Structure 1
Amino acid sequence: MTEDSDTTLPRPMVVSIRHARREDLVELNEMIGLLAAHHGDPSTTTVEKLRRDLFGPTPWISALVADGGEGLLGYAILVPLYRADEGRRGMELHQLFVRDGQRGNGIGHHLISRARDVARQAGCDYLSVSAATGNFAAHRFYEQLEFIPRPVTGMRFLQALA
């Protein structure tokens, strides 16, 4: 090798999976909008709603983020579940998102691994996730991570509260 040649290889990006912080809210809100747009849905969430739901007097959700050091690369939102007939606690992986250009790098796997840890620490017996009927890539992804497909039965009813 000559003295002129560059022998330095690029360092791999270090990604940390951590709980969301207040300073993450703008980027988290942006990524929620990107996921909604990917599914053809509008997003009406705001930074204020996220602040309320993550850090308010009665936190409603928890969020994990994949921090690449110069910005967030993805997130997972968790919501508690309960099966009263069994007395079992669970955690719903409500949303999982990794930015374009970062998919396939293991970030989703790491977010799910940390979500499992959070659920176990909360005393949960199971982690649940759903994917749209035709989203076969998501189905394969979750099955690869040892989620077991279960049929959805019945109807879900909603009533607006004024």
Structure 2
Amino acid sequence: MTTSPRMRPAGADDLPAIVAMLADDPLGATREDVDDPAPYRRAFEAITADPNQHLVVADDAGTVVGTLQLTVIPGLSRKGASRALIEAVRVREGHRGGGLGATMIGWAVDEARRQGCVLVQLTSDAAREDAHRFYERLGFVASHVGFKLAL
């Protein structure tokens, strides 16, 4: 990294870089289609229309080097508290291992606090053991078992 990346809201022009990062690992390569931008544009429009969604990028002198999505979820449990969900955390190849991921997660936790959330949660694919160690180093606790149902 040549400068300290800044976190900023993602713009439509950032979509190719975001999708490339989503596809840049063995799991993402099976799920993403970098050659078809249409579904990503539709999703981006829905995300930006929802004030509880925060799709952000880490910008290093005009180059997108990281991304994540923070969702604020109002709820009834915990005395009507809101929680935040962190998803799709990615750091561009060549920028990994230098602390950017921790900076991005720190931004998300701070933003969740600013939004009045009492809890920040995330999920990580069971195969992503390095990611699990990373999140544990940042203070996250593997406290739940997650389930999915493909539709």
Moved more, 19-28 or 129-138: 19-28
Determine the structure 2 residue equivalent to 1:78.
70
TM-score normalised to structure 2 length: 0.80
Q: How many residue pairs get matched?
A: 146
Does residue 25 of structure 1 match 2:18? no
SS of residue paired to 1:133 = coil
127 and 39 in structure 1: CA distance in 2 versus 1, 3 angstrom threshold: same
Q: Structure 2: state its 5+ residue gaps.
A: none
Does residue 66 of structure 1 match 2:96? no
**Identical-pair percentage:** 24
106 and 123 in structure 1: CA distance in 2 versus 1, 3 angstrom threshold: same
TM-score normalised to structure 1 length: 0.76
Structure with greater helix percent: 2
RMSD: 2.5
Matches within 5 A, 1:9-158: 12-34=2-24, 37-43=26-32, 46-56=39-49, 58-59=50-51, 61-86=53-78, 87-152=80-145, 155-157=147-149
8 Å contact from structure 2 (residues 4, 60) kept in 1: yes
Higher relative contact order (CA 8 A, sep 6+): 2
Larger Rg: 1 or 2?
Answer: 1
SS of residue paired to 2:108 = helix
Q: Structure 1: state its 5+ residue gaps.
A: 1-10
1:19-67 CA deviation, whole Å, 9 max, x = no partner?
22233233223323335x54453225734224312323x4563112111
